[in-house]
Amino acid sequence: MTVRRTSCNLCEAICGVLVTVEDGRVTDIRGDESDPLSRGHICPKAVALRDLQEDPDRLTTPVRRTPDGWQEIGWDAAYELVVGKLTGIQREHGRNAVGVYLGNPNVHSLGALTHLPTMVRQLRTRNRFSATSIDQLPHMLASYLLYGHQLMVAIPDIDRTSYLLMLGANPLASNGSMMTAPGFGKRLKELRKRGGKLVVVDPRRTETAAVSDEHHFVRPGTDAAFLLAVIHEVITQGFARPAAYVDGFEAVEAAVEAWTPERAAGVTGIPADVIRRIAQEFGAAERAACYGRVGVSTQQFGAICQWAIQVLNIITGNLDRPGGTMFPRPAVNPLLGLGRGHVGVWKSRVRGLPEFGGELPVSTMAEEILTPGEGQIRAMVTVAGNPVLSTPDGRRLDEALGSLDFMVAVDPYINETTRHADVILPPAPPLERDHYDIVFHQLAVRNTARWNDAVLPKPASARHDWEIFRDLGLALVRRTPWSRRRVETTVRLRLSPRRIVDAGLRIGPYRLSVGKLRRSPGGIDLGPLQPALPGALHKKSKRIDLAQRMILDDLPRLDALTTVAVDELLLIGRRHLRNNNSWMHNSARLVKGKPRHQLLMHPHDLADRDLADGQLVTVTSAAGSIAVEVASSNDIMPGVVSLPHGFGHNRPGTQLTIANRVDGSSANDITDAAFIDPTAGTAAVNGVPVTVTAGQSSPE
């Protein structure tokens, strides 16, 4: 029996874990008390790392779809087939005929971060998509505009703050996002002990709201009005004290002038006196931080929200000070490997939506596949993504993927998306991988560093994700005459993730190395976040300009926000601690217990429609209808209904033994690809207008 250390990489909390291995099998997984960041915290999903390892549904060799079903093939034959098809299609129809979609688990895998971008670059297509545009794109846009780099994200310093204003986030279920803060519940208790306060703004009384000091219902999609009114009041009450390196304050003053608390109250549902008081408390607090996540990103005004949150922190002097919002200084700097970002350098072919950082909005992916003409996508590469369940109008995308000339998926499962692939290349599972977290140390509430060797050996026949990207990348370099920088690319692809991390650590601010980190497998503490501005700004001027044209020009769109129609219902999403987006429903350990797929609805809204708790209802939006059970809840704001995404595994042809028995419909069958934040291009999956009626109408 041996106990090995690693970190769980299923979510952004990157908890340190101790894994007990007996005779080559995992027998126990628990929290690592010695980890300076997670301090022993884990959630139920950590234990499912073992299920991923042992899941009989998990592919271990490449498979190819044939008229007689899936057939195993060797790695070399698979690469040959994939690269031959992709380059053939590009030769015939142009480079943009190959589309790429990169899903969420890529940011949780070291090998994907070190090798995937280089491989994708070899395809030289403009049709690149990822989960970013249904997630944190507005954060990246605000960071790019204000701080000069898309990944220079200001993190709430929750371990030292005295006032945390949180919008559209539920870290008690999600374990935190764009804020790596494992054990958020414990950190919150500590905040309380210091005499601090947590205020939550959310259309649902969430698990986090339940343990907050104050919770306010907000009408979905109207937070921008609330934020502008808080800024208005902060200024009126004399709390504005922007740092000397901040420009554009007058433009902000002008922009918020019309957003009185009374006007905002009318559209948000948050009373004017509450808005005034929150502004007063935020302005007067010794150390305050405003933080907003998925609920204020994946909505119609996501870009304005994330800009306004920054503005509030900046003008109250809370940016870059302990207890406010701060910039981490990780041991490997991921900003070096990633460009600063750019916006609108090209537009999508069909709808003319702007790229951001080289990616087009995922809401436009299905139409780029289905609309004929020059530049139409005819082949797709998906990597660690399940867009059929996770992106808007999933049914249309399902149809689109079915119409492709060729598709390859790098994924361990045959699921709702990958069932359309001609070839699936499955990478080795997390416990067989070395891990250093390149992304989430950049978003963490404390500077720490941790390298872990793989817990279990990889079978000789298996491939790491980075080996798959290396081999595909090298084959592309060989086969594509247009490939640039061939030598540099070849060298880069041949380096192992360990070598790349080692180099990053050595040139990093703490002059570490993989060798040094391996001597402390529980991780090392590099201390609390430190002030870094204006020097750390990725702007030549070393100044922050609040008056961003893109955002200011967007503000008049808020004028459309008025008091809502009486019988209108707005759909929002939710997460549960034991789910992980669309893909961990194959763990018996996680899916057992009470069902969690229901549509939550307020008892008054049920009564108004003569509906009963538990009844099957039809939910209809502009995009379509689904059938789902309704659950009565006093924790949801009247006029709002909540449905989690990632369910709906009942599509034919998937091979997910346990997941196929999980009830529930896909929320993204009724989210609308036309409903986006036109400024950032983010999918608006929150605040979708729907009707709810009795009974079931067939989805066909």
Ligand X SMILES: Nc1nc2c(c(=O)[nH]1)N[C@H]1C(S)=C(S)[C@@H](COP(=O)(O)OP(=O)(O)OC[C@H]3O[C@@H](n4cnc5c(=O)[nH]c(N)nc54)[C@H](O)[C@@H]3O)O[C@H]1N2
**Residues at the site binding ligand X, with contacts judged by CB under 6 A:** 11, 103-105, 109, 131, 134-135, 167-171, 173-175, 177, 201-204, 206, 218, 220-221, 223, 293-296, 298-299, 383-387, 390, 410-413, 415, 427, 465, 572-577, 579-583, 645-646, 667-668, 671, 685-687
The alpha carbon of residue 207 and the mean position of all alpha carbons in its chain are separated, in whole angstroms, by 20
Nearest residue to 440 (alpha-carbon basis) of 145, 131, 646, 155: 155
Considering only the stretches 43-51, 95-103, 414-422, 496-504, report the one whose residues sit in contact with ligand SF4 under the rule CB under 6 A.
43-51
The angle, 0 to 180 degrees and rounded to 10, between the axes of the packed helices 302-315 and 223-236 is 20
**Interface with ligand SF4 (CB under 6 A), residue from 5, 6, 11, 166:** 11
Rounded CA gap, 165 and 297, in Å?
Answer: 16
Tell whether residue 42 is a contact of ligand SF4 (CB under 6 A): yes
* Minimum distance, C-beta of residue 395 to ligand X, in the bound complex (Å): 14
The binding track of 178-207 with respect to ligand SF4, each residue x by CB under 6 A or -, is ----x-------------------------
Q: With contact defined as beta carbons under 8 Å apart, do 197 and 141 qualify?
A: no
Tell whether residue 590 is a contact of ligand SF4 (CB under 6 A): no
**Strands of 450-547, DSSP E:** 451-452, 524-528, 544-545
Q: Which is nearer to ligand SF4, 9 or 489 (CB)?
A: 9
Nearest residue to 294 (alpha-carbon basis) of 203, 385, 426: 203
Rounded CA gap, 18 and 410, in Å?
Answer: 28
Tell whether residue 455 is a contact of ligand SF4 (CB under 6 A): no
Measured over the CA atoms of residue 453, residue 455, residue 461 and residue 462, the dihedral's sign is negative
Q: Which is nearer to ligand X, 145 or 296 (CB)?
A: 296
Nearest residue to 384 (alpha-carbon basis) of 360, 422, 415, 355: 415
Q: Which is nearer to ligand X, 261 or 508 (CB)?
A: 261
Q: With contact defined as beta carbons under 8 Å apart, do 547 and 554 qualify?
A: no
Q: Which is nearer to ligand X, 88 or 271 (CB)?
A: 271
Q: With contact defined as beta carbons under 8 Å apart, do 79 and 119 qualify?
A: no
Q: Which is nearer to ligand X, 526 or 637 (CB)?
A: 637
What is 325-345 written as a DSSP string?
Answer: EE----SS-TTTTS----EEE
Tell whether residue 175 is a contact of ligand SF4 (CB under 6 A): yes
Q: CA dihedral in degrees (471, 475, 476, 477; nearest 10)?
A: 100
* Minimum distance, C-beta of residue 145 to ligand X, in the bound complex (Å): 21
Nearest residue to 389 (alpha-carbon basis) of 682, 8, 589, 659: 659
The binding track of 356-395 with respect to ligand SF4, each residue x by CB under 6 A or -, is ----------------------------------------
Contact partner, 128, from Mo ion, ligand X, ligand SF4, none, Cβ < 5-8 Å per class: none
* Minimum distance, C-beta of residue 366 to ligand X, in the bound complex (Å): 14
Contact partner, 8, from Mo ion, ligand X, ligand SF4, none, Cβ < 5-8 Å per class: ligand SF4
Q: Which is nearer to ligand SF4, 379 or 456 (CB)?
A: 456
Rounded CA gap, 695 and 699, in Å?
Answer: 12
Contact partner, 47, from Mo ion, ligand SF4, ligand X, none, Cβ < 5-8 Å per class: none
Tell whether residue 46 is a contact of ligand SF4 (CB under 6 A): yes
Residue 184, Cβ density class (10 Å: 0-12 exposed, 13-18 middle, ≥19 buried): buried
Peptide bond into 457 cis (omega under 30): no
**Distance (Å) of CA 445 to CA 251, 378, 631:** 31, 43, 36
Tell whether residue 15 is a contact of ligand SF4 (CB under 6 A): yes
- The helix (H) or strand (E) run that includes residue 146 is helix 137-147
Rounded CA gap, 665 and 645, in Å?
Answer: 8
Q: With contact defined as beta carbons under 8 Å apart, do 550 and 145 qualify?
A: yes
* Minimum distance, C-beta of residue 90 to ligand X, in the bound complex (Å): 22
Residues from 310 through 329 that contact ligand SF4 (CB under 6 A): none
Q: Which is nearer to ligand SF4, 158 or 424 (CB)?
A: 158
Considering only the stretches 41-49, 304-312, 346-354, 563-571, report the one whose residues sit in contact with ligand SF4 under the rule CB under 6 A.
41-49
Q: With contact defined as beta carbons under 8 Å apart, do 186 and 172 qualify?
A: no
Contact partner, 109, from ligand X, ligand SF4, Mo ion, none, Cβ < 5-8 Å per class: ligand X
Residue closest to ligand X (Cβ): 295
Considering only the stretches 7-15, 355-363, 540-548, 668-676, report the one whose residues sit in contact with ligand SF4 under the rule CB under 6 A.
7-15
Contact partner, 14, from ligand SF4, ligand X, Mo ion, none, Cβ < 5-8 Å per class: ligand SF4
Rounded CA gap, 288 and 206, in Å?
Answer: 22
Contact partner, 685, from ligand X, Mo ion, ligand SF4, none, Cβ < 5-8 Å per class: ligand X
* Minimum distance, C-beta of residue 168 to ligand SF4, in the bound complex (Å): 19
The alpha carbon of residue 142 and the mean position of all alpha carbons in its chain are separated, in whole angstroms, by 16
Nearest residue to 464 (alpha-carbon basis) of 122, 22, 113: 113
Residues from 268 through 297 that contact ligand SF4 (CB under 6 A): none
Contact partner, 46, from ligand SF4, ligand X, Mo ion, none, Cβ < 5-8 Å per class: ligand SF4
Contact partner, 293, from Mo ion, ligand SF4, ligand X, none, Cβ < 5-8 Å per class: ligand X
Tell whether residue 43 is a contact of ligand SF4 (CB under 6 A): yes
* Minimum distance, C-beta of residue 582 to ligand SF4, in the bound complex (Å): 15
Alpha helices in 151-216 (DSSP H): 171-174, 184-193, 207-210
> Residues interacting with ligand SF4, by CB under 6 A?
8, 10-11, 13-15, 42-43, 45-46, 175, 182
